[in-house]
Amino acid sequence: MRLLRALALLMGGLALTDLLLRSMSLGALVHGPRDRSRVALTFDDGPSERTAALLEVLARHRARATFFVLRGAAEGHPERMRALEQSGHQVESHGVVHRHALLLPPWTERAQLAWHPARSRGGLYRPPHGGHSPLTRLFAAAYGRRVAMWDLEGQDWLDRDPRALAERILRYVQPGSVILLHDGPARTLPLLEVLLPGLEQRGLEPVTLEELGAGPQGWAGGVRRALQGLPEMLGRHRST
């Protein structure tokens, strides 16, 4: 009975951690000022074989972005990293292994936070899947990292029409939005060809996270983020 109680407490603690730190993203960088006509495009999981094509699309539309890179991909393809850095985009850490924090032993999660492409203290870290363990923020503080999340999912990992995905983003985007996309899926490129002109038509300039000036998430914003997508799940959409 004691063992069951202990397991229940452990599972409850992990669920609370997930709610507060992933779903609500308390204390993380989630969005920028709502009174400035700027948004941040962010790309996870690279660099990939499609990085060069992404950079070409962004350059053609004069858009700046932030790339959260994985150590293996970064160290395995230094030429792709050079292309990112020379293009003037912000480059930050997505960690060493692409696994949810709750599936990692503490020493591996420590390595996640210890590594950064700039090989320095500070900088940003985006947890794979947005996942947190009770140790994530402690390790982040130890290495001077800020945890960067998002407030609008691009859903480019789903097998859906790229135009429909772009139109969904444009339906929900607002000034200060941090948009989650990926460096890898083939559909991300045609998605951008619709999204970037749409942002321009709305007067929204894509900038880096540093330029956006994102601040830490508070309780009110956390509740809104946790409820994000509920109207969509219920079949109600905001008008464009």
Helices H / strands E in the chain, number of each: 11, 10
**pLDDT averages per 10-residue partition of the chain, 240 residues:** 54 53 71 96 98 98 98 97 95 97 95 96 95 91 96 95 98 97 98 99 98 79 63 48
The pLDDT score that the predictor gives to residue 239 is 35
What residue ranges do the domains of the chain occupy? 28-212
Q: Residues near 224 by Cβ (< 8 Å), separated by ≥ 6?
A: none
Reported CATH class of domain 28-212? alpha beta
The pLDDT score that the predictor gives to residue 77 is 97
Does the predicted TM-score (pTM) go above 0.85? Answer: yes
64: closest CA among 91, 45, 93? 91
The pLDDT score that the predictor gives to residue 231 is 57
The pLDDT score that the predictor gives to residue 240 is 32
